[in-house]
Chain A
């Protein structure tokens, strides 16, 4: 039987209430903030999925961009409905990830960072350079999704219905990623990170498993990109630039990447912190930079390691 402590039961009980009632309690702008937060949760979780194999890919945000650009081309230019372009665009991101993961999976450490960074920038340069079909610096426009015409509560141009659409997709994505994490494949990925040579010696095909992790991670990054694109209605290459990657790293390091919930906690806490610091918006990157350095020095495994540390000190 599944054992759940009182604390976990409390969280499991209140979370749905909060998630469902939240958009009705706050104003329109803040609903969009929550939608963005949900999208970022998919992004950090898919990023963590790749990090379990031991490599921190700096091409993850460009992979999200692949999803966004693919849906812009499919639903914007070709008029394919959102419900088909969502999986199709995510698949496009997964295939792009598969293509760059072959050279990347043969590198580690320094080379992996740098090569993934350069590969991501190269993808971004393609969007800038090839104005047809990617629109250059100006980018592309995307329509809001339509399921049924003239049904008010399903008008996805509005913030609240789009929030619930995002919530549904986010929960589905998290469930699938959680299953991957708990499965034998997830165990194999973690084996690659801790003892690569040992994994090799018992016959695990390292390159294949790393490529699989990269493609699955890119697929969900693509899902995040699709959701982002259909809410913003317009995308441009700058959004998927290195600044976004830096924020992604900060979220994951802050929360910690050992557990499934760590990065999610990181992005939630830092998003609310950034919102509190709104008056100091120009200083926020510097504050984040300082936080990340201090965390790495004093709490190297992130926020998720705090409870066990406190327990030890008692």
Chain B
């Protein structure tokens, strides 16, 4: 019983982390048709921001997290303006541009903060959280309420606000949206701002748990891609369901065997699904 409870708790935490990183990626693809490989590097920059502000300059943890969200959001906005806008809907071109951005950001971080030394980020909330025998640390648990909060905020923005609805319209039918006076460029910029900010949030929240180094984004973006593919690119609801599915699958296999096997199984599941249903589980026709 305790084992099952612990697995559910761990699965919930892993799923939240996957959702946080994958929803941003899916949003960017849905609106801009950019496969942003630099999403993992945005996550990495978020983690570094927390390391600088919280671990080195002793700002309060949540202020550092908020700052990281803003910093990475702006980074996304700038890269949309300078780089991705030039791709003009060309999926291959946009993807390779993002690969170029990966190189640039990695070298920049190595040059500024160095490669070799560890970047330890102490836990802000090391207290143990106990649910009647099932335990974790607050620091690990915090990603669950934070993800729910951010996803609810995103959902409200997309559903309630005019600008959010315009964003969804631009994702579904860019031409029809443009005819109704929706600026597709503006929608792309906002999608990039929001998507990158979520990557920044994920990086900053995970900084005390993961090891912070210039190549940390690579391991994350891989899983995020698997989740987005299965959820249906551009489909946010599908991405959240896929995050839950893979979060629990990873947790169960990691507990029973090890994390490498879990990664392998994730990919196999994705490949089998692609062979059976090429449009992803939730479906979302690709142009």
Chain A residues proximal to chain B, CB less than 8 Å: 56, 100, 102-104, 106-111, 113-115, 117-119, 121-122, 125-126, 128-129, 242, 246, 249-250, 253, 282-283, 285-286, 288-293, 296-297, 300
Q: Separation in Å of the B243 CB from the closest CB of chain A?
A: 15
A-B contact pairs, 16 of them (CB 8 A): A107-B274, A111-B274, A122-B263, A129-B264, A246-B99, A246-B103, A249-B99, A250-B100, A253-B96, A283-B111, A285-B107, A288-B103, A289-B99, A289-B100, A289-B101, A296-B93
Interface of B is mostly: helix
Tell me if A117 and B96 are in contact (CB < 8 A).
no
Provide the bound-state CA to CA distance between A300 and B103, in Å. 19
Tell me if B267 and A56 are in contact (CB < 8 A).
no
Please judge, given known A-B contacts A117-B225, A128-B260, A282-B107, whether A293 and B97 are in contact too, CB under 8 Å: yes
Q: Across the A-B interface, how many residue pairs have beta carbons closer than 8 Å?
A: 120
Provide the bound-state CA to CA distance between A286 and B222, in Å. 22
**Smallest CB-CB separation from B82: which chain A residue?**
A293
Tell me if A249 and B96 are in contact (CB < 8 A).
yes
Tell me if B93 and A111 are in contact (CB < 8 A).
no
Chain B residues near A107: list those with CB within 8 A: 274, 278
Tell me if B263 and A111 are in contact (CB < 8 A).
no
Provide the bound-state CA to CA distance between A261 and B108, in Å. 33
Q: Separation in Å of the B284 CB from the closest CB of chain A?
A: 10
Q: Separation in Å of the B97 CB from the closest CB of chain A?
A: 5
Interface size counted on chain B using CB atoms at 8 A: 47
Taking A107-B278, A114-B228, A296-B100 as given, write out 20 further A-B residue pairs in contact, using a Cβ cutoff of 8 Å, ordered by the A residue number.
A110-B29, A110-B33, A111-B229, A114-B225, A115-B270, A115-B274, A118-B270, A118-B271, A122-B264, A126-B264, A129-B258, A285-B103, A286-B104, A289-B99, A289-B100, A289-B103, A289-B104, A293-B97, A296-B86, A296-B97
**Smallest CB-CB separation from A128: which chain B residue?**
B260
Chain A residues near B99: list those with CB within 8 A: 246, 249-250, 289, 292
Chain A residues near B286: list those with CB within 8 A: 108-111
Picked from B96, B103, B280, the residue with its CB within 8 Å of the CB of A296 is B96
Assess whether B179 is interfacial by the CB under 8 Å rule: no
Tell me if A115 and B271 are in contact (CB < 8 A).
yes
**Smallest CB-CB separation from A114: which chain B residue?**
B225
Assess whether B83 is interfacial by the CB under 8 Å rule: yes
Q: Separation in Å of the B110 CB from the closest CB of chain A?
A: 7
Q: Separation in Å of the B8 CB from the closest CB of chain A?
A: 26
Chain B residues near A108: list those with CB within 8 A: 286
Provide the bound-state CA to CA distance between A296 and B93, in Å. 7
Chain A residues near B9: list those with CB within 8 A: none
Chain A residues near B229: list those with CB within 8 A: 110-111, 114-115, 118
Assess whether B165 is interfacial by the CB under 8 Å rule: no
Tell me if B218 and A242 are in contact (CB < 8 A).
yes
For residues 226 through 275 of chain B, which have their beta carbon under 8 Å from a beta carbon of chain A? 226, 228-229, 233, 258, 260-261, 263-264, 267-268, 270-272, 274-275
Provide the bound-state CA to CA distance between A1 and B184, in Å. 54
Chain A residues near B225: list those with CB within 8 A: 114, 117-118
Q: Separation in Å of the B26 CB from the closest CB of chain A?
A: 10
Assess whether B102 is interfacial by the CB under 8 Å rule: yes
Provide the bound-state CA to CA distance between A100 and B275, in Å. 10
**Smallest CB-CB separation from A245: which chain B residue?**
B99
Tell me if B272 and A103 are in contact (CB < 8 A).
yes
Tell me if A111 and B278 are in contact (CB < 8 A).
yes
Provide the bound-state CA to CA distance between A291 and B104, in Å. 10
Assess whether B287 is interfacial by the CB under 8 Å rule: yes
0/1 per residue, B18-50, Cβ < 8 Å to A?
A: 000000000001000101000000000000000
Chain B residues near A104: list those with CB within 8 A: 274
